A and B are shown apart, each in its own frame.
Chain A
Amino acid sequence: MNEFLFVLGAGIILYAMKAVPMLVARLPQTRLTTVIFDLLPVGLLTALLLPPVLLGGVQQPALEGALAIASVVVALALSAVTNRAAIGIAAGLALLAVAELV
């Protein structure tokens, strides 16, 4: 029972972290904040998603690591060229499956 309450408590904390700024906070709408809010998602998401791929790939055996990194590069490139999310994701995951099987 204690563990269930811990999980519930953790969920409430996570919810509060999102709900308070989203529903209660009133951020100033200036030119600077508009620019910052435009740039922050790019900075945060790239820093969050891409370095772990490079670091993880480098730590693997050469071929596997190269294939894992290539799967992300292919997903990015095909998404940009075709403008269709499904194609980039499917190709990236297919290449990653090859890396898993090597």
Chain B
Amino acid sequence: MMQDPSRPAEKSPAETGPFRRGVRKTLPLLIGTTLFGLGTGAATAQAPIPELALFAMPVAIYAGVGQLAFAQLYTLGTPFPAIAVTLILINLRYIIYSAIASVWPRPKSLLQRLLGPFLVTETSFALGLNEPLADRFRFLLGVGTALWSTWVVTCTIGTLLSSQLPPLKHGYAIPAIVLAPILMNLMKGRQKAMLALVAIGFGLLLSGVPYRLGPLLAGLIAVAGALLFERVWKAWR
């Protein structure tokens, strides 16, 4: 069959650069980011924060829960050091993601190296895990750029339209739906599926732990349990 010469030949995934591949793989996830961004923007607009700071929030604090926590604590008149400590506690998982990503080969460009950590989120980190090790950092930059720019735009729209947007009753399900394909990829294999079930169980048990530390503890307990089980299983066999 003759190829239409006016149309550029479509490149296979292996031929496209990691940055562009990252942007492309993020496109289906942007629906969820848009919904979550609109909701977060509308929610933070309820806090008595001056406009300049309000619009700077999605740009500087690139963490949805972090933004909501900041807005809530600010409304209550919490002093900044206490807000800062809370933000650190509820975002401790980023230290783990970043520590794991520290073994990914880094690009030569200083700007890209400095930008990488800023763009680390659940989505960019988890999507990066499916890429060849050498491509992961630049892939993360592609995913992160698409997500962050969408985040900033949708949060801003959400803030501007806060009085007209209906509140979402089931916003709690959006992150899980958006990250469902990534979760399924990560859970391949019996050991990881079992680990996921244990993590969900402990996540439910520890959901009341303050500062959103429950999921972090649940994840760590599940991994420790999996390692222990593997040892005992090997010794027993």
Contact = CB atoms under 8 A, between A and B. Distances in A.
B170 A49 contact: no
Contact of B169 (A6, A9, A99): A99
Contact of A36 (B70, B173, B176, B223): B223
Contact of A41 (B92, B94, B129, B181): B129
Nearest to A16: B117
B66 interface: yes
A72 B179 CA distance: 10
A49 B219 CA distance: 11
B50 interface: yes
A46 B117 contact: no
A45 B122 contact: yes
B202 interface: yes
Q: How many of chain A's residues touch chain B, expressed as a range?
A: 35 or more
Interface in A28-54: 29, 32, 35-37, 39-54
Contact of A44 (B27, B106, B113, B216): B216
Given A96-B170, A100-B169, A89 B96 contact: no
A72 B223 contact: no
A89 B117 contact: no
Interface in B68-101: 70, 74, 80, 83-84, 87-88, 91-101
Interface in A14-30: 14-15, 17-23, 25-27, 29
26 contacts: A9-B84, A11-B60, A15-B117, A18-B120, A19-B114, A22-B120, A25-B102, A35-B227, A37-B103, A39-B191, A43-B195, A45-B126, A47-B216, A47-B222, A50-B200, A52-B207, A55-B207, A69-B173, A71-B170, A71-B173, A72-B177, A75-B180, A76-B180, A84-B181, A89-B32, A96-B173
Interface of A: 1, 3-4, 6-15, 17-23, 25-27, 29, 32, 35-37, 39-57, 60, 64, 68-69, 71-72, 75-76, 79-80, 84-86, 88-90, 92-93, 96, 99-100
- Shortest Cβ-Cβ A-B pairs, 8 listed: A11-B60, A51-B203, A43-B219, A44-B219, A85-B181, A86-B28, A92-B177, A75-B180
